[in-house]
Amino acid sequence: MSLKEKSVAVVKRLREAGYQAYLAGGCVRDVLLGKAPQDYDIATDAKPEAVGKIFPKTIEVGAQFGVVMVLLDGDSFEVATFRHDGPYLDGRRPSEVRFAGMQEDILRRDFTINGMMYDPLEDRIIDLVGGRDDLSRRVVRAIGEARERFQEDRLRMVRAVRFAAGLGFAIEANTLAAIQAEAATVGQVSWERIGDEITRILTEGGARRGFELLDESGLLPMILPEVVAMKEVEQSPDHHPEGDVFSHTLLVLEQISNLKSQISDTLAYGCLLHDVAKPLCVKREGEKITFYGHTEKGAELAVEILKRLKQSRAVWERVAYLVKNHLRHTQAPKMRLSTLKRFLGEEGIAELLELTRIDALASNGDLQYYNFCREKLVELKHEEIHPQPLLRGKDLIAMGLKPGPLFQEILRQLEEHQLEGEIKTKEQAMEWVTKQYRQRGSS
């Protein structure tokens, strides 16, 4: 069975047990937009203990909120009991929850486009909040009084931006005004939840629009003041005819929004933050504008930001590498062959070169250094960039050398000569070691 067929089976089983049950939320929105939902959620009047009795395999993921995960043939479906939320005292979660009817459950939800339910057995949409009209109008609108919805859960403000950006929608005027009025309170939300939303804005399409809306709504200074600082930081027009650092960064985000394949979290953050330290490093030398040291400082700043957004060590280490090295490819034509091979052999080189391509297209369009590196990757091939060592430590021992700090230096120099194409065989390597070691011993 397909994911959709399994979700309908869950609904049908709940109905057969005497309960109401409907597909709810984002899956209904996606189907109406002609998109395949990534998951299907079910809303029902069956309480968690009843759901647990109906289905043999369940996981209580939020029983206090009426949420049970039903496992069916290798897939999971969130089954939530109709509920009414009590007051939100902390801007994150309700102080109490009581089970309620379908209408109350719909009215407690965030946005009209997420507030519809679908009866798959009768092929009937249940829309009490004007969600279908808002889909047609291509707007994200809060259900009920917008400021109340955002005071209940401050993260909804960032989610409004994500939905609008990802769907190519506008944020309805009253809803946007409510976000602007409440933006300063977004800090009540955990940074982990905020970080997840920012990642999704960057990677799910519409990244540029997402950051324009974060800026327009007043959320950007609260979440990423380092990006706001890019505004009005001038750049040399010969390299950056597009304007200041903020304008350039938006153009970079537009480039990643247009990518046909899914972008990784690390490349997305690398694109966002590659020039993040330019406001700190800008200097004028007559008519010339310089940003010396912005790559190194930017790498440090990127780590601080990504730690704040609760990203993993793997993410911030790779992003720091991308930011620190995003101009290094411009030196590639001048590199010694061994240096070039080492550069092209680095673990993150694919993402780094993609960042350089995107960066160039968002500025003066000069791809000469990117093209040079891509051509050299094809020309040199994997085995030349990552050659097997001609000698190892055991070979040096067999030659009568005693293990010690000298081993590492010998092997490093051998690798250098090998990458330069000066030593090609094991015999040549052994001859070189013998000669060099004797010279070192006599000195």
Specify the CATH number for the domain of residue 100: 3.30.460.10
114/45 same-domain check: yes
Indicate the DSSP class of residue 389.
P
Q: Looking at residue 138, what is its pLDDT?
A: 98
Q: Identify whether 298 is part of a domain.
A: yes
339/422 same-domain check: no
Do 198 and 223 contact (CB within 8 A), yes or no?
yes
The total number of structural domains in the chain stands at 3
Query: Could you list the residue range(s) of the whole structural domain that residue 85 is in?
Result: 1-131
Do 53 and 60 contact (CB within 8 A), yes or no?
no
Q: Looking at residue 82, what is its pLDDT?
A: 93
Q: State in Å, rounded, how far the first CA of the chain is from the last one.
A: 77
Cα–Cα distance measured from residue 439 to residue 326, given in angstroms and rounded to the nearest whole number: 41
Question: pLDDT tens-digit profile of 32-77?
Answer: 999 999 999 999 999 999 999 999 999 988 767 789 999 998 999 9
Q: Identify whether 139 is part of a domain.
A: no
Q: Identify whether 70 is part of a domain.
A: yes
Q: Looking at residue 91, what is its pLDDT?
A: 52
Q: Catalogue the E-assigned strands of 316-375.
A: none
Question: pLDDT tens-digit profile of 190-242?
Answer: 999 999 999 999 999 899 999 999 999 999 999 999 999 999 998 888 777 88
411/357 same-domain check: no
Identify which of 315, 326, 337 has the alpha carbon closest to the alpha carbon of residue 370.
326
Structure tokens at 41: 């959620």
Question: pLDDT tens-digit profile of 166-185?
Answer: 999 999 999 999 999 999 99
Question: pLDDT tens-digit profile of 314-330?
Answer: 999 999 999 999 999 99
The structure tokens 């090609």 sit at 424
Domain final position from 341, 370, 386: 386
Q: Identify whether 355 is part of a domain.
A: yes
85/9 same-domain check: yes
Domain final position from 77, 105, 131: 131
Q: Identify whether 379 is part of a domain.
A: yes
Q: Identify whether 64 is part of a domain.
A: yes
Identify which of 420, 266, 249 has the alpha carbon closest to the alpha carbon of residue 338.
420
331/409 same-domain check: no
Cα–Cα distance measured from residue 52 to residue 28, given in angstroms and rounded to the nearest whole number: 25
Residue type, 64: Q
**pLDDT at position 12 over 80:** yes
Structure tokens at 367: 């791809």
325/430 same-domain check: no
427/307 same-domain check: no
- Tell me the pTM: 0.86
When pLDDT is averaged across residues 139-161 and rounded to a whole number, the result is 96
397/343 same-domain check: no
Q: Identify whether 342 is part of a domain.
A: yes
Structure tokens at 154: 């401050």
Q: Looking at residue 404, what is its pLDDT?
A: 81
Query: Which CA distances in Å does 117 have to 62, 171, 306, 336?
Result: 21, 22, 37, 64
Residue 442's pLDDT band (cuts 50, 70, 90): very low
Q: Looking at residue 31, what is its pLDDT?
A: 95
Burial of 128 (0-12, 13-18, 19+ CB in 10 A): middle
Q: Identify whether 369 is part of a domain.
A: yes
15/113 same-domain check: yes
The structure tokens 């909040």 sit at 129
Cα–Cα distance measured from residue 208 to residue 274, given in angstroms and rounded to the nearest whole number: 15
Percentage of the chain modeled with pLDDT above 70: 96
Do 158 and 215 contact (CB within 8 A), yes or no?
no
Q: Looking at residue 443, what is its pLDDT?
A: 37
User: In 3-state terms, what secondary structure has residue 58?
Assistant: strand
302/405 same-domain check: no
Going 199 to 92 to 177 to 160, the CA torsion angle's sign is positive
**pLDDT at position 287 over 50:** yes
The structure tokens 């200097």 sit at 283
Domain final position from 131, 162, 181: 131
Query: Which CA distances in Å does 84 have to 34, 107, 125, 162?
Result: 30, 9, 21, 25
Contacts of 363 (CB under 8 A, 6+ apart): 239, 240, 241, 242, 248, 251
Residue 411's pLDDT band (cuts 50, 70, 90): confident
**pLDDT at position 103 over 80:** yes
Q: What is the dihedral of CA 94, 100, 104, 105, to 10 degrees?
A: 70
331/346 same-domain check: yes
Do 280 and 365 contact (CB within 8 A), yes or no?
no
Cα–Cα distance measured from residue 264 to residue 167, given in angstroms and rounded to the nearest whole number: 19
Q: Looking at residue 413, what is its pLDDT?
A: 85
300/419 same-domain check: no
